[in-house]
Amino acid sequence: MQPATGPVIGIDFGTTNSVVTALRPDGSAVTLRHDTEEVFRSVLCFWSDPVSGAGRHAAGPAAIEAYLEEPLASRLIMSMKSYLAQRSFTETRIIGRRWTLESLIALFLRELLEPFRDELDGARVTVGRPVRFVGEGADDAFGEARLRAAFSAAGLPKVTVALEPAAAGQRFAAGIDRPATVLVGDFGGGTSDFSLLRFDPGPPRRVTALGHAGVGLAGDAFDTRIIDRVISPLLGKGDSYRVMGKPLPVPPAWYSSFARWHRLPLMRGPKTLREISEVARTADHPERLRHLIRLIEDEAGYALYRAVSAAKVALSRSEATVLRFRHEDFVVEAPVTRVDFESWIAPDLARMEAAVEAALADAGLGPEGVDRVFLTGGTSLVPAVRAIFTRRFGAERVFGGGEFVSVAEGLALMGPDA
């Protein structure tokens, strides 16, 4: 491929992480780094200056640091991409100011791109979008329109939008020297997308989209399954308490919020803590609910989330691991096997497999019509996810690589043809 005249940039704005890449004169795509990191967490944090009272904000890793330093005095905004196709999310107020979703994403994008302004000057920019946006009744066209509006507000009014799995396929196609039909599986934090693409190496190289499908779940859902099965029972989930001698279940709604670390501050209100404390008085295991109260009060959710994520990663390499976590006198040393983990995520795997079937049906192809399968994104490293494809297509046709940067690199590679 001959690179285009002028800079070419690919931007993968993700639910969990974002990546920026640039096309170099030799035709290679390189990741533009924030300090030493290739990926930039897709989060914002807002707080008031304690002296002046003025509103302040941070993005990426700095946002997480600011939030963990003063969780009750700040507001963390994350998973912004998940709301793009939801018409119900119009605006929110933060420190007395009205913010639309587009303006929040635009603020994040400006922070993401600030170190690369020289690269962006006069550049052609390609950005990614999922095949199917997250959410019940998601309006994909509406989601793309809001994505474009956010980029425009960030100073990039003329971006080209491409499907994320198609971009990942572009990166993979660089090594293809004969015509091939490729199924690309792109697993993000919130969505899993699948595309059937026909590659002709040319010259000129041509890419034809044959079919697409997606589902609004990915690696984040796996983490919540581990918390639900391993951690929450140690904190009272499934236990009973008594009202006038009658046994009642400990309210399960507490644990759906607890499974998402960034929602723990919502549980720290006096009413919720008082309710948990009252239930603990007559609970079968009051110490479990007291641990729950301490974790909420001390904002220990992020550290717990990291321990759970580390256990998930370990299960991609080993048949068993130990989930270790300690906060004050709450100590977890829980063995977790891959067999158990795979049973917990079975409903999620079934939905992913159904989406693969839908992509094949959309393309009018059976498994025999697929020459190669390319999987990318961190969740593609989970053996049970990879097994969906090896069972159906054979291990010899399944490839992976660039799990966290392939979409952004592919978006840059698509730039000259955009």
Q: What is the pLDDT of residue 265?
A: 62
Using the CB atoms, write b or e for 373-408: b if 16+ within 10 Å. bbbbbbbbbbebbbebbeebbeeebbebebbbbbbb
pLDDT tens-digit profile, the chain (418 residues): 444 457 899 999 998 899 999 998 888 889 999 887 889 999 999 999 888 888 899 999 999 889 888 877 888 888 899 889 988 888 888 888 999 999 999 999 999 999 999 889 889 999 999 888 877 678 899 999 999 999 999 999 999 999 888 888 887 777 788 899 999 998 887 789 899 999 888 777 788 889 989 888 888 889 999 999 999 999 999 999 999 989 999 999 999 888 876 566 668 788 999 999 999 999 999 999 999 999 988 878 778 988 999 999 999 999 999 999 999 999 999 999 999 999 999 999 999 999 999 999 999 999 999 999 999 888 999 999 999 999 999 999 999 877 788 899 999 988 766 5
Q: In a 3-state reduction of DSSP, which class is residue 367?
A: helix
Q: What is the pLDDT of residue 392?
A: 95
Q: Which residues contact 375 (CB under 8 A, 6 or more apart)?
A: 184, 185, 187, 385, 386, 389, 398, 399, 400
Q: Which residues contact 136 (CB under 8 A, 6 or more apart)?
A: none
E strands, 95-169, in order = 97-100, 124-129, 160-163
pLDDT, tens digit, 9 for 90 and up, residues 173-217:
777 888 999 999 988 877 898 999 998 887 777 888 899 898 888
pLDDT, tens digit, 9 for 90 and up, residues 398-411:
998 777 888 999 99
21: β partners: 10, 31
Hey, how many other C-beta atoms are within 10 angstroms of the C-beta on 35? Answer: 7
Q: What is the pLDDT of residue 15?
A: 85
Q: What is the pLDDT of residue 311?
A: 97
pTM: 0.80
Q: What is the pLDDT of residue 156?
A: 95
Q: How far apart are CA 90 and CA 383, in angstroms?
A: 39
Q: What is the pLDDT of residue 1?
A: 42
Q: Phi, psi at residue 260, to the nearest 5°? A: -120, 105
Q: How far apart are CA 251 and CA 240, in angstroms?
A: 9
Q: What is the pLDDT of residue 416?
A: 64
Class of domain 8-175+402-417: alpha beta
Q: What is the pLDDT of residue 3?
A: 44
E strands, 40-174, in order = 40-41, 43-48, 55-59, 74-78, 91-94, 97-100, 124-129, 160-163
Q: How far apart are CA 379 and CA 223, in angstroms?
A: 11
Residue 145 structure tokens? 């329109």
pLDDT, tens digit, 9 for 90 and up, residues 254-312:
998 888 765 666 687 889 999 999 999 999 999 999 999 999 888 787 789 889 999 99
